[in-house]
Amino acid sequence: MSKMKSGKLLVLLVCLNIITLGVIAAAPPTCPSNLDGKCGDSGEWEGEFFPGIPKIKYEGPSSKNPLSFKWYNAEEEILGKKMKDWMRFSIAFWHTFRGTGVDIFGAATKYWPWEDGTNSLAMAKRRMRANFEFLEKLGVERWCFHDRDIAPDGKTLEESNANLDEVVALAKELQGSKIRPLWGTAQLFVHPRYMHGAATSSEVAVYAYAAAQVKKAMEVTHYLGGENYVFWGGREGYQTLLNTDLQRELDHLARFCEAAVAYKKKIGFNGTLLIEPKPQEPTKHQYDWDAATAANFLRKYGLLGEFKLNIECNHATLAGHSCHHELETARINGLLGNIDANTGDPQVGWDTDQFLTDISEATMVMLSVIRNGGLAPGGFNFDAKLRRESTDVEDLFIAHIVGMDTLARGLRNAAKLIEDGSLAELVQKRYKSFDTEIGQQIEAGKADFETLEKLAMEWGEPKVPSAKQELAEMIFQSAL
């Protein structure tokens, strides 16, 4: 009797085991966002890296949910265009997935659960999967990358290219039909070979290596459907003019840009080439100091029709300008192509790459974007990183949410100012003397000094009206 019971129990257990295995097999695969499980080891698993984070939705200004948008409503129309089309938001792979919190005084503080401490191909693929899950949950359709951030450097250029090809093939698969790179670029500043610069290096072998790296990075950007390609000369500059041939280095940089234009056309890449100004850091003086310097470089070498500018707000601060100034300088020169959305700390003298949270600054930024008619095919790339002390995975979402909400609020405020018209009217009144016949002649280049001298003598001492600066600031503040 006991044997029969034991046999029935054994049959029951086997049946339950078969049923359980069937249920497991039928269930969709899940992967914990840590390395305790084995599903992420190969880098091929399509697991969930942010299991506790829902898809971020718009809940309005009254929401207290940190994982929701309060001001960014992607489909809402502002001034005849959807918010998502004004913004064209993008996630920077290097800060979001390669940022560790390290600074010049301290070691890394961030250890994301999916990281295994290596820079292997398997790890690169795992990061890429995390990137696309992040984009999907945040509701962003664009991303930006450096070649060496998404794939490990090899022992040879051929090996580096092969590594990049393997990771890019996965990215192409994960992108689907909606997601595309806002822009790609080559990292030409970390490796010791670039200690003297890349396109401005004193060594021709380094110049050639940099050209080969840009060639490949441009190819993969094109392959992934990228809309732009960025040149940031991290070490294109000098530490002292005592050992630098300034003319020769600038000429070499121009030849490099010309070759990039030629190759872009050869492969049929229709994306915009962008130069990103920065005054110094890591070099003492960088050749693309600010928007005006970059525009002058392009004008001198006949490249104005081939490039636009990628303006980074924190770089504007380092150059002694406001972000609004740099955007307007780029805009009036027909060169505003893209914005790296970040800010700096006025009490800190280096490039801190903080998320933009100042509503006033965001409003001025959006005034320039609206006057520019938008940024397409450019957009807003969050070239910003978590603070060293922010170490939760959730913080990655919160930081981007507040950045997106800040710019969305800036857009709403800028639209109020434009629809109200008071600020534009104040500016128009300030320059109304140039709406006269002689003013129009001056602006048309038809008023000579003799004519102007005669008028000055007739009119006598000019009566100069108030600029109404405080009124302008009052009108601006009323929209915030």
Q: Nearest Cα to 472, choosing from 439, 413, 430?
A: 430
Reported confidence tier of residue 449, pLDDT bands at 50, 70, 90? very high
Worst-scoring range by mean pLDDT, 37-46, 268-277, 404-413?
37-46
* Residue that is written with structure tokens 């050869």 in the block: 266
**What CA–CA distance (Å, rounded) separates 355 from 402?**
8
Q: How confident is the model over 339-355, as pLDDT tens digits? A: 999 999 888 888 999 99
Sequence-separated (6 or more) residues with CB below 8 Å from residue 118: none
**What CA–CA distance (Å, rounded) separates 132 from 48?**
10
Pick the catalytic residue: 146, 252, 321, 400? 146
Q: Are 356 and 65 in contact (CB under 8 A)?
A: no
Residue 38 clears pLDDT 50, i.e. is over it: no
Q: What is the pLDDT of residue 47?
A: 67
Q: Nearest Cα to 399, choosing from 408, 388, 386, 389?
A: 386
Residue 454, CA distances (Å) to 280, 433, 447, 459 in order:
48, 17, 11, 9
> What letter would DSSP give residue 302?
T
String of DSSP letters for 315-354? HHHHTT--HHHHHHHHHHTT-EEEEE--B--TT--S---B
Q: What is the mean pLDDT of the chain?
A: 91
Q: What is the pLDDT of residue 104?
A: 86
Q: Nearest Cα to 87, choosing from 38, 138, 140, 47?
A: 140
- Annotation says 315 is catalytic: no
Worst-scoring range by mean pLDDT, 31-40, 250-259, 407-416?
31-40
Q: What is the pLDDT of residue 348?
A: 85
Q: How confident is the model over 136-185, as pLDDT tens digits? A: 999 999 999 999 999 999 999 999 999 999 999 999 999 999 999 999 99
Q: How confident is the model over 231-244, as pLDDT tens digits? A: 998 999 999 999 99
Residue 16 clears pLDDT 80, i.e. is over it: no
Q: What is the pLDDT of residue 46?
A: 52
Residue 43 clears pLDDT 90, i.e. is over it: no
Distance in angstroms between the alpha carbons of the first and the last residue of the chain: 84
Reported confidence tier of residue 40, pLDDT bands at 50, 70, 90? very low
**What CA–CA distance (Å, rounded) separates 87 from 69?**
14
Structure tokens at 49: 């890296």
| Percent of the chain predicted with pLDDT > 90 | 88
**What CA–CA distance (Å, rounded) separates 376 from 141?**
14
Dihedral (Cα; 347, 353, 355, 359), 10-degree rounding: 50
Q: What share of the chain is helix, strand, coil (3-state, %, to 5)?
A: 50, 10, 40
Q: How confident is the model over 319-346, as pLDDT tens digits? A: 999 999 999 999 999 999 999 999 998 8
**What CA–CA distance (Å, rounded) separates 400 from 68?**
11
Name the more confident of 87 and 7.
87
> What letter would DSSP give residue 193?
G
Q: What CATH architecture applies to the domain 79-420?
A: Alpha-Beta Barrel (3.20)
Residue 11 clears pLDDT 50, i.e. is over it: no
Q: How confident is the model over 62-73, as pLDDT tens digits? A: 999 999 999 999
Q: What is the pLDDT of residue 236?
A: 97
Reported confidence tier of residue 97, pLDDT bands at 50, 70, 90? very high
Reported confidence tier of residue 36, pLDDT bands at 50, 70, 90? very low
Q: What is the pLDDT of residue 345?
A: 87
**Which residues make beta-bridge pairs with 183?**
144
Q: Are 412 and 87 in contact (CB under 8 A)?
A: no
Q: Where do the CATH 3.20.20.150 domains begin and end in the chain?
A: 79-420
Say how many C-beta atoms besides its own lie within 10 A of residue 73's C-beta: 18
| Full-model pTM | 0.89
Strand pairing class (285-286; 68-69): unpaired
**What CA–CA distance (Å, rounded) separates 335 from 384?**
23
Strand pairing class (336-340; 380-382): parallel
Sequence-separated (6 or more) residues with CB below 8 Å from residue 264: 218, 229, 271, 273
Reported confidence tier of residue 13, pLDDT bands at 50, 70, 90? very low
**What CA–CA distance (Å, rounded) separates 280 from 346?**
16
Residue 348, CA distances (Å) to 165, 281, 345 in order:
39, 13, 5
Q: Are 396 and 91 in contact (CB under 8 A)?
A: no
Strand pairing class (81-82; 77-78): antiparallel
Mean pLDDT of 207-227: 98
